[in-house]
Structure 1
Amino acid sequence: MTKKKQNIIFLLVVLLFTVVLIFIPTGFENPSLHKNTERVKAVITAVNNSDLQNHGIVTTGTQNLKINILAGMHKGDTISATNVLMGQKRIDKIFAIGDKVLAIVKTDNQKILTARAEDYYRISIEWILLAVFALFLIGFAGITGFKALLSFIFTALTLWKILLPLILKGFSPIVSAFAIIVLCTTVIIILINGFSKKGLVALVGSISGVGITCCLALLFAHFFRIPGTVQDFSETLLYVGYTHLDLPSIFIACIFIAAAGAVMDVAMDISAAQNEIIDHNPSITTKALIRSGFNVAYPVIGTMTTTLLFAYSGSFMFVFMVFMAKGTPLNIIVNTNYVAAEILRTLVGSFGLVLVAPITAIVGGFIYVRNY
């Protein structure tokens, strides 16, 4: 069988598996949440704010609304709804006439009992953004763009439909996460590069980098003593009955999951560069190719080590601004558990990026050429 046929068969298998993932349940569906309940798009037609109370920058009370339902069995109906403000700006919304909302409608024998405006309706714009992204990707890169989009959807579904249920069912977060990362990395690299030496070098380098990142996370997490509850919503899992979960291990798994994409990028960059070199100079020796791989790795490492710093700092700006506004000393800031957690993420992830470069260069030197 030719490599072209192998690549086509692999593409079809991944496509089929992705379709299957879309339809298989996670095992954590709760039908009772949907019983006598509709979650529908609606538009606000009237607002009564007389019950709202302002306490400085915080607002509490209940908005009494009139909403027109735009979908579902009650489409076209105009009904009363409420929006309760808890005095928490992170979750509270104050709606105005014309706002599109996701409404939760409670019914009994198809008769509406109560309705609540849950949040702004964002699903349509999310689908539009995804469609624009897909069109741009395919329009720019053609079949490679389609493969990249397929790998994107495959990875998202694998994390949602396989990894998360495994962890919730009590499987080891670290083992499960590492296995899923290996699976997704393998699928992505083979989809994009086919069954080739370039893909093999990138795959070996990527898995090695993720493995090193995992080991470093395990080692330094022990000394950092970061509680698993440092993650947002982690305590909520305990309150809803999942007290068996190993939260520190989930936190460690999150570290190398977050770094896996950047590690794969570095490995792919070096593998592709070495592949180009050997195409133009087939007589190059292993040592020379490794040396060339190192020369490519130096500038890649120089920029990629800052990539994770930007990624994590961008999501942590408000925390740093609060510390600065309060005049908190730097030694207090860096010793705080959630800041220390971000330092651990950044440095361990960057360490993995630094090490994956020489590993990939060495692996490439031995796989691409045989004149040792």
Structure 2
Amino acid sequence: MRSKAKVIAVDNNAVHQYGVVKTGIQSVTLEVAEGPFTGQQIETTNPLMGKLEMDKIFQPGDIVFTVVKGQNGQVVAANLIDHYRIDVEVILFVLFMVVLFWYARWTGLKAILSFVFTILILWKVLWPLFLKGWDPIILSLLVTFTIVGCVTFLVTGLSRTGLVAFLGTICGAITASLLAILFGKLFKVHGAVIPFAETLLHVGFSNIDLTKIFLAGIFLASSGAMMDVAVDIAVSVAELVAKNPSISRKEAIASGMNVGRAVVGTMTTTLLLAYSGSFTALMMVFMAQGTPVVNILNLTYIAAEVLHTLVGSFGVVLVAPFTAWLAGWLLPGHAKSA
């Protein structure tokens, strides 16, 4: 059974330090903190592989997550998983919901529902179907359509404004998917660049197309930014039409274009900053070694990030004219239903 446990004592005599990494085995004495074995103590080991991103060092007083095995009411073995973080994660999530609801009121509540729905559809639909071998491109498009539809109509209501934002986002997502497929082939980037992707092949999922999963992730990751742009433009044009019902389609489209230019001017940089965190350490290594820029840009990992950032930004930029055109045609003359 899975359980929380408290670290009572540790023995680091078999732990060896080599520079910044540690190898060996740390002995850990645990006291089970929940379940039928509460209060019982057991000694277990914490193997260290010399990898900072994988290894964890425990100290007395730490609360850890373990898998406990018992027999006849006694603990006979315990497998250390990691530090226990569920309580802190729950606190952070609740704090986020409280602040969002405090600021945005009912719109914030709708945003929370959209947030939870997105997590559930990724966890219960997208990733399990990936493992079953469904086509990642088609599946990701369907999931994107579902998420965008749910979020957009939940926030804006069942209105023409929501329809414009939804259709604009879909146009951008489809365009980004086509660009990802085209330039993915030209870049000759394999899906193995995704962290832990190769592990899937080793644990029995050799039928999975990692490259398609990587390409699908490009437009799936940028769909949120596309949706932001589309909603901003649709709502702005809807407000304009509500204030001036006699506005022409041409004027509405022009206004939507102007709003779009301002929004995409910052949104593309937002995507760059969001993606840059994943390869900050890698770029620092190249800088420390004095690696030429031409070498860096030809490396698979960097090329993958360039593809990810530019195709995603391309989709965000194209959402603006798509949405402005749709808003100009669907909103004027329908101020009450917008």
**TM-score bin (small chain):** over 0.9
Give 1:127's aligned residue: 90
Instruction: Report how far residue 109 of structure 1 moved.
Output: 4.2
Distance between the aligned counterparts of 2:196 and 2:297, measured in 1? 22
Which of 75, 79, 82 pairs up with 2:38?
A: 75
Q: Which runs of 5+ in 1 are unaligned?
A: 1-37
8 A Cα contact 1:49 1:63, kept in partner = yes
Distance between the aligned counterparts of 1:325 and 1:107, measured in 2? 51
Cα-to-partner distance string for 1:238-275 (whole Å, 9 max, x where unaligned): 00111111111111100011000000000000001101
Instruction: Report how far residue 101 of structure 1 moved.
Output: 0.9
Instruction: Report how far residue 86 of structure 1 moved.
Output: 1.1
Cα-to-partner distance string for 1:110-164 (whole Å, 9 max, x where unaligned): 4322223221111110011111111111222222111111111011100110111
* 2:59 is equivalent to residue 91 of structure 1: no
RMSD: 1.2
Cα-to-partner distance string for 1:326-370 (whole Å, 9 max, x where unaligned): 111111111100100000000001111111101100100000125
8 A Cα contact 1:218 1:252, kept in partner = yes
Distance between the aligned counterparts of 1:315 and 1:187, measured in 2? 29
Q: Which runs of 5+ in 2 are unaligned?
A: none
Give 1:4's aligned residue: none
Instruction: Report how far residue 81 of structure 1 moved.
Output: 2.1
Range that drifts further, 149-158 or 38-47: 38-47
Give 2:224's aligned residue: 261
Supply the AA of the counterpart residue of 1:315: S
Instruction: Report how far residue 196 of structure 1 moved.
Output: 0.7
Range that drifts further, 347-356 or 54-63: 54-63
Give 1:206's aligned residue: 169
Instruction: Report how far residue 166 of structure 1 moved.
Output: 1.3
Supply the AA of the counterpart residue of 1:157: L
Q: Look up the SS of the partner of 1:81 in the other structure.
A: strand
- State the TM-score, normalizing by the size of structure 2: 0.96
Instruction: Report how far residue 46 of structure 1 moved.
Output: 1.0
Give 1:369's aligned residue: 332
Q: Look up the SS of the partner of 1:152 in the other structure.
A: helix
Give 1:159's aligned residue: 122
Give 2:252's aligned residue: 289
Give 2:316's aligned residue: 353
Give 1:54's aligned residue: 17
* 2:49 is equivalent to residue 114 of structure 1: no
Which of 99, 105, 130 pairs up with 1:142?
A: 105
Instruction: Report how far residue 78 of structure 1 moved.
Output: 2.1
8 A Cα contact 1:83 1:118, kept in partner = no
Distance between the aligned counterparts of 2:26 and 2:333, measured in 1? 73
Distance between the aligned counterparts of 2:67 and 2:25, measured in 1? 16
* Percentage identity across paired residues of the two chains: 47
Which of 268, 273, 281 pairs up with 1:305?
A: 268
Question: Matched residue pairs, number?
Answer: 334
Instruction: Report how far residue 304 of structure 1 moved.
Output: 0.8
8 A Cα contact 2:40 2:75, kept in partner = no
Give 2:192's aligned residue: 229
* 2:295 is equivalent to residue 329 of structure 1: no
8 A Cα contact 1:290 1:364, kept in partner = yes
Distance between the aligned counterparts of 2:243 and 2:19, measured in 1? 69
Cα-to-partner distance string for 1:65-98 (whole Å, 9 max, x where unaligned): 2112111111122221221111111111111111
